[in-house]
């Protein structure tokens, strides 16, 4: 790779990414850049040759990095990008702030962002994927985000710019999201805390939270999240069509569709990225054969299948 700009943060060549993903699989990135601060990130992107690809990475909670790794500079935000500030009903969080931390700190200040409590990952990823559960989505509480564009400029984007849809947004190519501003309804801190405890209990009862997973594997075909309510329609939930096809517990190598929740793929031990992606594709084909529904991946898959 061509010479890269000088940085004040950490720039590591040929950095294995497997320990940075929840599934613990994947090959190396050409470089991993952990900027010292906003200015470091801006100057790096400004001076980076235009032909070098950039991949912003959160905490790896919803990601498969293929075994051959990534021919790119992976940018991972850390300290300096994880602050959480609450003013009135408005919460501004750095992109690296964990969703659970944002939910808790907001609740303590009487702002209801409790749906974020059980969503794995960081706020940057939550905005990018329009994360949601219990019938609430980031789009419902969204005010704006700040991003650093590929030319190093800092820009504020609104909901109109992002075009929120189910599990996706239109972030500019190569843009690195650095902070998000959200606005939630008011609530009693004690009542919000109780609600989050109940949400965690329900999650732990129904999901393999002790296993190496990446959250939901596939999007719900109906195009909306579970509400958690008794009258929730289950017909077109991903787990239901996987169950109907007899694929709960299905395996390939070290990969498995969880017995506890069939839309959660887990690394049951020694899985490769190829095992995990291959199992997912097998599930997609068999569900289609059974129901005529093509499941869409919710887990992002990136990189080369094999090292060149």
What tokens does 54 get?
């950039």
Residue 216 is a catalytic residue: yes
How far, in Å, CA of 134 to CA of 197, rounded? Answer: 14
Residue 46 is a catalytic residue: no
What tokens does 284 get?
């997609």
What are the DSSP E strand ranges found in 150-277?
154-157, 176-183, 213-216, 251-252, 255-257, 264-267
What tokens does 105 get?
């700190």
Exactly one of 104, 117, 167, 284 is catalytic; which is it? 167
Query: What are the DSSP calls for the chain, one per residue?
Result: -------SSEEEEEEE-GGGSTT----EEEEEEE-SSHHHHHHHHHHS-TTS-EEEE-SSTTEEE-TTBEEEEEEE--TTS--EEEETTEEEEETTSBHHHHHHHHHHTTB--GGGTT--SBHHHHHHTT-EETTEEHHHHEEEEEEE-TTS-EEEE-HHHHT-BTTB--PPTT-EEEEEEEE--B--HHHHHHHHHHHHHHHHHHS-TTS-EEEESB--TTSS----STT---TT-HHHHHHHTT-TT-EETTEEE-SS-TTEEEE-SS--HHHHHHHHHHHHHHHHHHHS--PPB-SEEESBSS--
Exactly one of 213, 216, 225, 262 is catalytic; which is it? 216
Residue 197 is a catalytic residue: no
Is the distance from CB of 20 to CB of 62 less than 8 angstroms?
Answer: no
Exactly one of 66, 258, 277, 298 is catalytic; which is it? 298
Residues noted as catalytic: 167, 216, 298
């Amino acid at each position: 790779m061509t010479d890269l700009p000088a940085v004040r943060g950490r720039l590591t060549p040929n950095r294995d990414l497997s320990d940075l993903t929840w599934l613990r699989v994947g090959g190396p990135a050409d470089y991993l850049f952990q900027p010292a601060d906003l200015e470091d990130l801006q100057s790096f992107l400004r001076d980076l040759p235009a032909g070098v690809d950039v991949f912003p990475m959160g905490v790896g909670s919803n990601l498969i990095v293929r075994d051959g790794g990534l021919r790119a500079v992976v940018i991972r935000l850390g300290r300096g990008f994880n602050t959480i500030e609450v003013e009135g009903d408005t919460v501004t969080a750095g992109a690296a702030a964990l969703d659970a931390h944002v939910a808790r700190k907001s609740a303590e200040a009487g702002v209801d962002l409790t749906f974020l409590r059980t969503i794995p990952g960081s706020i940057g990823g939550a905005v990018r994927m329009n994360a949601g559960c219990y019938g609430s989505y980031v789009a419902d509480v969204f005010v704006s985000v700040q991003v650093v564009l590929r030319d190093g400029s800092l820009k504020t984007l609104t909901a109109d710019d992002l075009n929120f849809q189910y599990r996706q947004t239109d972030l500019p190519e190569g843009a690195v999201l650095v902070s998000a501003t959200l606005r939630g309804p008011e609530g009693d801190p004690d009542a919000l805390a109780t609600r989050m405890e109940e949400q965690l209990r329900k999650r732990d009862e129904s999901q393999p939270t002790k296993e190496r997973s990446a959250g939901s594997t596939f999007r719900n075909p109906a195009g909306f999240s579970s509400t958690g309510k008794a009258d929730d329609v289950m017909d077109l939930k991903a787990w239901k069509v996987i169950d109907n096809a007899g694929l709960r517990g299905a395996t390939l190598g070290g990969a498995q569709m969880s017995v506890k929740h069939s839309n959660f793929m887990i690394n049951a031990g020694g899985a490769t990225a190829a095992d995990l992606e291959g199992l997912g594709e097998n599930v997609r084909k068999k569900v289609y054969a059974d129901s005529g529904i093509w499941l869409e991946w919710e887990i992002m898959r990136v990189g080369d299948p094999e090292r060149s």
